[in-house]
């Protein structure tokens, strides 16, 4: 990304802060789905290192 694009995005996010909502990310762990925010620090780190792919 270019720096100008990043700055414009940051400005837009700041201007529209009240319109934003929290997005929960779920992942499958041991046969069931859990929100990533409930993970401990180590598991959050593992989740960030995962490689996503499309079939």
What tens digit of pLDDT does each residue of 2-37 get? 777 888 888 888 888 888 888 888 888 778 898 988
Would you say residue 50 lies in a domain?
yes
Would you say residue 3 lies in a domain?
no
Would you say residue 37 lies in a domain?
yes
Would you say residue 55 lies in a domain?
yes
Would you say residue 27 lies in a domain?
yes
Would you say residue 15 lies in a domain?
no
4 contacts 13 by C-beta, under 8 angstroms: no
36 contacts 47 by C-beta, under 8 angstroms: yes
Would you say residue 43 lies in a domain?
yes
Q: Which residues contact 35 (CB under 8 A, 6 or more apart)?
A: 24, 25, 26
Half-sphere exposure of 24 (CA within 13 A, CB side): 8
24 contacts 13 by C-beta, under 8 angstroms: no
The pLDDT value recorded for residue 1 is 56
Total count of domains within the chain: 1
Would you say residue 52 lies in a domain?
yes
C-alpha–C-alpha distance, residues 31 and 13, integer Å: 36
Q: How much is the pTM? A: 0.48
What range does the domain containing 30 cover? 21-55
The pLDDT value recorded for residue 41 is 93
């Amino acid at each position: 990304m270019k720096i100008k694009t990043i700055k414009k995005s940051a400005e837009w996010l700041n201007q529209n802060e009240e319109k934003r909502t929290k997005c929960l990310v779920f992942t499958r762990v041991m046969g069931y789905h859990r929100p990533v925010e409930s993970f401990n620090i180590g598991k959050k780190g593992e989740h960030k290192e995962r490689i996503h792919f499309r079939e």
